[in-house]
Chains A and B, each alone.
Chain A
Amino acid sequence: MIYQYYPGCSLHASARDYDESVQGVVKSLAMELKEVPDWNCCGATITPSLNQLQSQILPARNLALAAENRGDVVVPCNACYMSLKKIQYNMAKYKVVREKVTEIFGQAGLRLTGMPKVRHLLEVILEDVGLEKIKQMVKKPLKDLKVVNYSGCQLVRPLGFDNPEDPQALDNLMSALGAEVLPFSQKTHCCGGSLITTQPDLAFQMVDSILEESRAVGADMVVVTCPMCQLNLDAYQDQVNRKFNRTLQVPITYFTQLMGLALGLNKNQLGLQRGIISPFKALEKIG
């Protein structure tokens, strides 16, 4: 199957580890990802609060570029996924948005020729490859590895693909790979997003409650599907520890990294060494 790949800015910068593991995994699954040519930032969670129009044009341009080619648009980042889906929804629903976008596109010589389907990488892996096939492909089960799955908020709401209160996709995938999935009530709680830079006190509390519960249930690591969640939970763990007087050292890994390990890929190709909290000690369990 051929897909159009919209990596988003993070995967080319702070989340290179995610990108590396994505490339490894999709190759194993015989999925072909072709990067959307000349893509730009999706606007993320910040632009809507600064400039509404910009926050509509940025993702819409990516869709216009993608519409030139065939195949669904696959997005690994929760924030990009939601930005792209949101503009699709708003353009379908509100005539004024549709008209404004078309007008500005006209000035830039762009045309929206179609509406490609936007899907999260996790969604594509589960729906197009399927758990059964993945189970058969597992070479090194993640036996004894205790994980909590943190889907984050933008994967599931408001336009996501899984149950917004108790998402199942990541749980099912991790179980299929052989990991032990622990109950986790923080699955879809916000990680603080960009508030980590503007209102750190608030965001630190949010990060802390996620990390603290992962410790309380006895998880070896937190599995994520979003570079923003990963950054907040991993890079700020030290500061959060200091603020709340804790000594947590919880590795935050991308689902594709664990998937790569289970499918037998070399751990050096999966960017695992790039995590600030190293996952290697926890990964000793699976050898």
Chain B
Amino acid sequence: MSENFEPKILGILCNWCSYAGADLAGTSRLKYPANIRIVRVMCSGRVEPTLILKAFQEGADGVLVSGCHPGDCHYVDGNIKTLRRTPLISRLLTQIGIEPERFKQVWVSASEGEKFGKIVEQMVEDIKKIGPYQKKTGDALDTVAHEVYQSTKEVAATGEEGGSHCG
């Protein structure tokens, strides 16, 4: 591992709480590592596995997803869906050989600028310890990402009806 390894982290933040929290870190002039690149969605409930897999495909060393605290969601309970989706995504990532430390899901409110900065700092530190994400032999990322993407197309093409395969 290179001594100067600077991880690339993708942050996917909800518009109402976490993006505003990251903005507050800015207005408060709090300094945190420049390793994170933030993409805005309206709700953390919008974050589907495809976006996370895409990040790793594009060379991210970590992905951070952040939404409003439970109970505070701008869309009633979108963040609860995030909460339920998180363990599934973690499991998927583990199965395809991506260390669990590389994916983190947190809650940051619009007033938690300081907390946001600390989370980024910690995540950069943690990922520096495990090193850059390298697609290893037998790493199934590309295959899985491709499958996830293709399956949507296939389902569309077959035009199956009424939830027959959804068990």
Query: Does A touch B (CB under 8 Å) in the complex?
Result: no
